[in-house]
Structure 1
């Protein structure tokens, strides 16, 4: 049976377990996890906390385990656009490891203003990390970025 996923992004004002309960009650069979750092947008997971605090990772696993009928299909990942690439890669690696353990298949990143879609060092590095964790990398489309009019 095809899965229909719902992001928990609109429920980040609630604890993750409550957000998943709401999504399950709505009849969804899968979910997407917002992973946000540096205060760019509220998310259920802060990638910096994944690195510093094992309890943060355990909280995500515990919430997901409460809803065996829901599958995490992926995440949207974002930290500050001016973060050094080495730090972004470190945070992205922690996020990808979490997603792999949750059985997810993909992770999306934000394309910042003025960045090339596929040729940049950033995208090559993040794609390599995602692939190493068995994840498909996608790029979110936004007005004012290179993906606004990809043709």
Structure 2
């Protein structure tokens, strides 16, 4: 199964290594050239500390991220590769790309949706980030 298509102008929620200013952010992804960071946002999920990078799984907690507008859709393929999406092997993919609701200031759906990378492997034994916010300085490269 291939991840659904992305269009120019689509929004993404970044909550870990792809956040603007994150330690160990992938240098090969030229976000300023291909879109614009729009500012902080919130969404529902459960954020897990996977030891150097986070993963979000389904949940009802409020999580924090950064909203990004993608102006050049071809960057999505590179982001999918970075996030370990394997075409033809969804169970073996590290993350999945799917749409989620952006929350307003009252933590209710704003009516806008954005792409988000959700963790697609077992989270057994990993701690939950209770505040739903991954610190920028905590990242380390994935191996």
Taking structure 2 as the reference length, the TM-score comes to 0.27
When Rg is computed on C-alpha atoms for both structures, the one with the higher figure is 1
Return the structure number with greater helix share.
Answer: 1
Taking structure 1 as the reference length, the TM-score comes to 0.26
